[in-house]
Structure 1
């Protein structure tokens, strides 16, 4: 006869612990602004200085020769003419006096003086142009231009801008994703035996 005997058993069922990682990546932001630049254009300048032309016409000699004299010139000419006439009259009288005084030459001085006055010599005649050449004096000063240039250019100003840097560091979080577990079961068993 076979007897079945139960032998107890221990059954172990183990679950290992598991950990999880939550990783947040770091974030880096870099913003580079362009440099600020200002350009100022300075224009060229031109300065022109002009002295106008000038024409001088002197007609005084022309009018004097045409006997359209100013009072001052007329007075001077008349004074010079009177002086010359007076000198010539004095010379003539002196010459006549010398003729009258030369009695020793036995010539008729009175007749000679009267004859010279009654029969004067031929008058001097000469062709003249009135007004004479060059009696109008002309002087012309041309226009003068002075040009001054000043070169312009460009004024450039540059301001650099620093980069804007934002950095958010990353992080790693460790958490328990699964708890460890150990299950122990006691199970009885049957064993056959012969008696």
Structure 2
């Protein structure tokens, strides 16, 4: 009897895969600001007040000119410090340009104030008062902002993917046979 034997092996392929890669290298944009601050120059000449009270003192015979002068000096200092504080506050308002305050706004606000003067008469004759008032001189030097932009960059580092195909196992077919003798005896 004839016995046939068939051995076979299928082929196998292998894949060597290299994935694609996308690398991005970025450079951030930069902004350089050159800022020149605004300046506000305020010159406020002091007012001059001329008071002739010789006749008042002669009538009342109470306060000597030196004592009265000292009293008025203290009063003037107090008023001057308040005026300086007010001018500084107005300067701070103008320095904050983002709030939109203008010199006209501040000048208009100053004009709306009611000023109350009270003069007490010394019994027989009031003092003779003359004032020399000068306006406040304001000079604004505008600030500026210069901007320089250095643009950012994006560099593309792309590597293509690859697929290499190779035979990992070869195929074969092997056919063999044997003749078998059947012995009966």
Q: TM-score range by the shorter chain?
A: 0.3 to 0.5
Q: What TM-score, normalized to structure 2?
A: 0.45
TM-score when normalising by structure 1 = 0.43
Largest Rg, 1 or 2: 1
